[in-house]
Structure 1
Amino acid sequence: MNICVFLSAADLDERYTRPAREFARLLGKGGHTLVWGGSDTGLMKVVADGVAEAGGSLVGVSVEFLAHKTRPGCDDMVVAKDLAERKALLLARSDAVVVMVGGTGTLDEATEILELKKHGKHTKPVVLLNTAGFYDGLKEQFHRMEDEGFLPLPLSDLVFFAEDGVAALAYLEEGAGVR
């Protein structure tokens, strides 16, 4: 399965890198392909290293203004002209999406993917990996949106909240019916 992972390119502490490394190893051992922003820095590097070390493949999709930070030696690396094209390519090349910890770029990617799913532009499973409770506030906001009628379909049809990498991958491999 080609799994798109949206996540930070920042250097983060062990409460985020350890679970990211563990999830990456699960992806690689499962024979999955990581489709990600292509950066060889921060948490993006941690995940790419883990997938590669465990035998998985790497497909990077960078953007022109970040091309100098791309990871060498990927199975495939594409450089998009802008962020909009990058997001479209990431979605097109994946069977599922996992959102890990990140900043405004990660949040932008996550909300666009969910908006596209809401409007039926894709049916790929989306998982928010809630490492160390990072997305607790967002989860609460999504529940409020659902409760107050802002979502035209059940939240569970849009996104699955996983507390760890094992639950995220189990959902993708079994619960979401994607292979």
Structure 2
Amino acid sequence: MKLNEIATLSLGIMKNRYTSSIKTMFKYKIIESTDIGEIGINKASDQLQELYFENKISDKMTLKKNDILMKMFPPYSISYIEEEYVGCVVVSNIAIIRAIKIDSNYLYLYLRNNKVLLYYLTEGTTIKLLSLNSLKSLNIDNNISEQDIEYKCRIAKLLDRQEFLLKRKIKLINFQKEYYFKLKGERNGK
């Protein structure tokens, strides 16, 4: 089954077309391509850039819970939207995938685990970009029972959480090393 048959796909906004220099009543948090990492969005919602817009952004362009974000250029990072990011807006080089006829967790899991398929859909020579039309034509295997989907999604969420926590642990260890060597250097210098 094609992706556009089981989900709606749209691109984010071109923020320079919509932003206002005057503080208006339409304020949105922006998720940019640099904010999307290997396992989700790198920033907490309170750390995202806020911009003012001249007009209200349509519901189609604002994020909802269970939406899937995908960068349209390498590396094709994929992120699952939790409650924290509802109402945010994404920039134009990120696709918003909203599952309709399939479980959004399963679709997220399928896309994350089949990134190789995305490389076959790319266009361009130097920089391989995905177009929205080529993404819509992606075949999704949905010949799977509801119970299998539920189990796979639970396991995938646990593995994603484990990966996130391990990467955070590595960052903290590196920070501790830097602090220790900085502190040790200050003591030896005095």
TM interval, shorter chain, is: under 0.3
TM-score, normalised via structure 2 length: 0.25
TM-score, normalised via structure 1 length: 0.26
Structure with a larger share of its residues in helix: 1
